[in-house]
Every structure is written in C-alpha cells, then in structure tokens.
A and B are shown apart, each in its own frame.
Chain A
Amino acid sequence: MQEVKDARGLLCPEPLLIVKKEMDRLGTGTIKVLVDSAAARDNISRLAKNQKWNIDITQDGEEFLLQLTK
C-alpha cells in the first residue's frame, strides 16, 4: 500500500515542500499526494514538470489526488 501524503488545507509553499522532500528522498518512484485547492494542484503540477516527474490527477469531489511517477 502506497502512503498518501496529505496536503489538504495547507497554503503554499507547504504542499510543495512536502512533495519536494519526497522527490529528494525517493529519487524515482511514485508519490501520491492529496490536496483540496486548485492552487496547490496547479503548483504541484508545475513542480512535477520542472523536476521531470509525470503527474496524473484524479478529482474526487473537492479534492484532488495527484500521483507523481518517475
């Protein structure tokens, strides 16, 4: 079971820092992160593109599950 990082309710840059920390820790692999704002979704997508990770977004009600892979 893959752990999901919970970044709901956090204002940027905290969601970004959580994801960046995981990227640095893992190097490659899968990161799942749950956010509840479009701003965090967009910012993390941008970070993913910047760091050359693939990103897959699924929306569940008002929340977004972001799955990053590399």
Chain B
Amino acid sequence: MKQKWTIIIAGAITGLMAILLVKYGNPANMGYCIACFLRDISGGLGLQKVATVQYIRPEIIGMVLGAFGAAVATREFKSLGGSSALTRFLLGFIAMIGMLVFLGCPLRAILRLAGGDLNALWGIAGLIAGVGLGLPFLRKGFSLGRAMPQNKSNGYVFIGMVITVFILLLAKPAYIIFSTEGPASMRAPLALALMAGVIVGVLAQRSRLCLAGGIRDFILFRDSYLLYGFAAILIVALIGNLTMGTFKLGFEGQPIAHSDGPWNFLGMALAGLCAVLLGGCPLRQLISASEGNTDSAVTVLGLIAGAAFAHNFGLAASAKGVPAAGQTAVLIGFAAVFVIAFFVCKANLSVRGVKADAGSQGRERASLS
C-alpha cells in the first residue's frame, strides 16, 4: 500500500510540474517529453540542423542529476554493463524514429491526452499493441543478457557527459544552437526547467515510473502498480489543463501533433515494441543510465542518434503529417526489430540447448546455497 502511494504521488507531482512548465514557456502538452527533449539536445549540439528543434533542454539534465543523486543517497548507484550494448543502441535508435513519427514519448502521449489531444489515443493504443507484440519474444527466451558489475568509473561517464552538456548550456558557446522559432524556442526559464527535472528524476528513480513497463506488467501479471503512476499524471494534468483553460478536445489542430491516426498508432507501436525488448521506455532508460547502468546510457545515445538521423533525413513527422520517408522508416524499423528479436531468441535457445543453462554461465556461485 505504501508503495502504491509512492507512485501515485510521483505521478501527481510529475503531472503538476508538466503543467507548470507549459505555463512558464514550454510548448503545449510538452511539459516533459523525453523523445522531444533528446531530439532538441541533438539539435542544440548541432547533430541535426532543423532550425525549430535545437536547444539543450535543462529538464533532461535535471532528471539525470536528480536520479543520480537519489541513487547515490540510497546506495543504489552501481556501475553495470556488458549486456548487448550495440543491440540496445540500435533498438533505441529505432524506437526514437517511431516516437518522432508519433511526436512524443509515452510520457508525452499521456500529457497530450490530458490536454484533450485525442490523437494520443491512437498512440497509446499503438503503445499497448507494441508492448503486446514484444511479450511473446520475451516468453520465448528473448534476452539481451546480464549486465555485469564494471569498474566503478564506467558508471560516472554518462554523468560526466551530462554535466559537460550542462556547462555548454550555461556557457552558450557559439557552436551551440538555440532555436529562435518553433517548439524548441518555447522554453520555461532554465532554473525552473532544471528544478522540475531534478524533482521528477528523484521521484522516477524512487518509484521506477515507466509506462511501457506498466502496460507490460499489467498484461503479464495483472499488476497495475506502474499504471497508477500514469493515471495520476493524467488526472493531475487534466485538472491542470482544465483550470488553466488549455484543455482543447479534438483531433484537429492540436499543438505539435498531426491527425494521421494509423501512423500515430504504428509509430508508437514501434516504440512500444523496442521499449519492451529494452526493458523500459525512454524515461526509464534515462533514469537507469543515471543509476550507473552503462547499457542504458548507450540506449540513450542510440535515442539521440536516432533523433539526429530522423531530422537530418526528413523522417520525423510535423503538424502537417508523416512524410513518406518517415512511413518507410517505421516499416523498416519493424522489420529490423523482428529480425533482431528472432536471432536473439534463436541464439539464446541454441546456447541453452548445448550448455543446459546459459543463464548461470560465469556466475556459478549462484547455485551454491
């Protein structure tokens, strides 16, 4: 019961902060969006050159530092890695293309719905379908393997990278680009955005908030713990939007969204499929990377690379809809994930057949007691 309250409070505060961020400058229905913000960072660092989506979002920096602080304080910070890092990079890359076709991560899908954007329903349905599609692979032995303890310095590399980016944000050297028009030009004051990030970072670390995980646990075990968090975000953000007068019900003319239902569905389904194979949605990856998991850090880099690629090659959707190249990319993404999942399952099963139990290889002492 106590646990349930932790996640409900975490969700409620996240919803509240999201409304505050939009009130003080963030784009509508984008208090937080891990996908959009990582994309903005890719632009801010000059990895993609689309003039409307370039900014180093302090929310992301805050989340990482908040989660890092919480993990250190609770002795949960641990350098881990070595479980299929490159495959995770690729899954992160593909997930990002799906999310940029939908225009949001699972967290923003909830925030869009709370703003009355009914297109988000297509996205959420897609997310559920994607997670459902990935579960049979997990049941059939899909596993990216075990993360092993690593030299302690490894876990701090990601934190160091984020602090470096933070310094770039504060110093604003000429080669760092901040949009003067479009979504990335709309931003809450740095201090507020940073603080909101820290708060959600701490809460997400403590409560393990993850929407893909919530859907997954519900389908697998009828466990609704993680879903309570998202219900709380939805309710608080909905009340917030209604009181602020920013609630607008409908499909057409929604902020930073398009109304192409099937592609909203497919984009998010691809993201959900990748998320379930990766063990969590982009938010969870970000938090896990901050807890010292270098595989998750590589996944975050994959997300950023995917965002840069999506914008450099015109794959990302806009208010006008999904470009043909983006549609093709989503279909290729599905094909690639199926091929990866198939071969990972096959390899795991054959190893198991030969060596009786691949899982305990190299970790024999587990069976001693």
Contacts and interface: CB of A to CB of B under 8 A. Distances in A.
Interface of A: 3-6, 8-14, 16-17, 20, 32, 34, 36-39, 42-43, 46-47, 50-51, 62, 65
A12 B280 contact: yes
Contacts of B367: 3-4, 6
Q: Which of B83, B280, B366, B367 has the most CB of A within 10 A?
A: B366
10 contacts: A3-B367, A14-B279, A34-B366, A38-B76, A39-B208, A43-B217, A46-B225, A50-B223, A51-B221, A62-B78
A9 B146 contact: yes
B305 interface: no
A55 B221 CA distance: 17
B226 to A, nearest CB: 9
A66 B231 CA distance: 30
B193 to A, nearest CB: 27
The 6 nearest A-B residue pairs measured at CB? A9-B146, A11-B279, A6-B366, A9-B147, A38-B76, A34-B366
A8 B148 CA distance: 8
Contacts of A6: 359-360, 363, 366-367
A14 B143 contact: yes
What DSSP secondary structure best describes chain A's contact surface? mixed
A8 B360 CA distance: 10
A32 B369 CA distance: 9
A44 to B, nearest CB: 11
Interface string B113-133: 000000000000000000000
Nearest to B216: A13
Contacts of A38: 74, 76
B220 interface: yes
B332 interface: no
B80 to A, nearest CB: 7
Contact of A9 (B83, B138, B280): B83
Contacts of A47: 221, 223
Contacts of B369: 4, 32, 65
Contact of A16 (B74, B220, B288, B359): B220
Given A39-B208, A65-B369, A14 B138 contact: yes
Contact of B148 (A5, A9, A16, A37): A9
Contact of B221 (A10, A36, A50): A50
A25 to B, nearest CB: 14
A8 B78 CA distance: 13
Nearest to B220: A13
Nearest to B146: A9
Nearest to A10: B146
Given A38-B76, A46-B3, A11 B363 contact: no
A37 B221 contact: no
B308 to A, nearest CB: 25
B217 A13 contact: yes
Contacts of B145: 9
A17 B366 contact: no
